[in-house]
Amino acid sequence: MNRIRKKAGLLLLPALLLVTAVQAQRVTSMRINEVLVINEDNYVDDYGKRSGWIELFNTSAGTVNVGGCFLTDDRNNPKKYPIPKGDVLTRVSPRQHVLFWTDGVASRGTFHLNFVLDPAKENYIAFYDSDGKTLVDEIIVPAAQRPDISYGRKVDGKNEWVELTKVTPSTNNLTLDTNEKIDNFKINDSLGAGMTITAMAVVFLGLLVLYLIFKQVARLAITLGKVRAQKTGEETQASGDISGEVLAAISTALYELNEDVHDIERTVLTIQKVKRNYSPWSSKIYSLRENPRK
């Protein structure tokens, strides 16, 4: 029974992983993220035209295909614009965006909707699943929207909606234009004295650490050198412990060996010159040609 249970568990594990992956890639993780109603001097489409747009955001960790889903501005018509299937660009990567143009000209392509947003009134926008019944997300954009100022989530995928003076189509709504650390330095250390002192302290501390390291290394090297010298002296002393009889025998042998090469004086170490037989045939002067005499 235990073996059967283990096998069943091993078979169920891949199934659970597959279900988890499918859940992560469901279109229910998509959110309406940002809307621009009046586009006077903002982003242009692939035709070079300016019109309003709707941005969707994938909040999941998996790729979501929005092909076959629906966008609408009519509560009574959830299937007003069916997003075409088969377009590779409808696959939205994790934590990424996709933009749809509200120009009312759906013939221009997948991302051009068949309705236009009205700046004079509230605009209802909804995103439905591929069954046309499951509402994924909806939003009411307030009336009297200003040109080139979008209405979107303060943080991508979160609930708080605000007016965004910095319009960010197809990118994060919240971006950092300043460096917090630099701003703090400007406020707390306008003259740069603290930065200078900190930098110099770091440099001197580094030099001090290097000095201590090198000093310890030098001491270790000296200690090792003394140990090696002591061992070498002991070995030399051990090799020099030769008896007098052996030294006398070596001296006698050297004396007898060198007796024939010394002069008559026995107490003077002078070496006789070695006589070499000279042959004129080996002289170079006889091997050179002489110039004929005139």
139 and 196 fall within a common domain: no
What CATH number corresponds to the domain at position 143? 2.60.40.1260
Give SS3 for 28. helix
Alpha helices in 48-155, H assignment, sequence order: none
The Cα 81–Cα 89 span in angstroms is 17
Gap between the Cα atoms of 159 and 143, Å rounded:
19
List, for residues 224-265, the tens digit of each pLDDT value: 988 888 887 666 565 556 677 877 888 887 777 666 555 555
In a domain, 146, yes or no: yes
Count of structural domains within the chain: 2
Same domain, yes or no: 118 and 100: yes
Does residue 257 sit within a domain? no
User: Quick one: 105 and 170 in the same domain?
Assistant: yes
Tell me, yes or no, whether 106 lies in a domain: yes
Do 195 and 52 lie in one domain? The reply is: no
277/79: higher pLDDT: 79
**pTM over the 0.85 mark:** no
Residues 56, 161, single domain; the answer is yes
160 in the same domain as 26: yes
- Of the three residues 142, 177, 212, the one that is the final residue of a domain is 177
Task: Examine residue 282 and state whether it is found in any structural domain, yes or no.
Answer: no
pLDDT digits (tens, 9 = 90+) for 48-87: 999 999 999 999 999 999 999 999 999 999 999 999 999 9
* Per-residue confidence (pLDDT) for residue 285, from 0 to 100: 57
Domain of 77, in residue numbers: 15-177
Residues 162 and 201 in one domain: no
Of 80, 89, 102, the closest CA to residue 34 belongs to 102
Nearest to 114 by CA among 106, 126, 122, 125: 106
Query: Does one domain contain both 66 and 121?
Result: yes
Identify the three-state secondary structure at position 287: coil
Instruction: Check whether residue 207 and residue 183 sit in a common domain.
Output: yes
For residue 42, being part of any structural domain is answered with yes
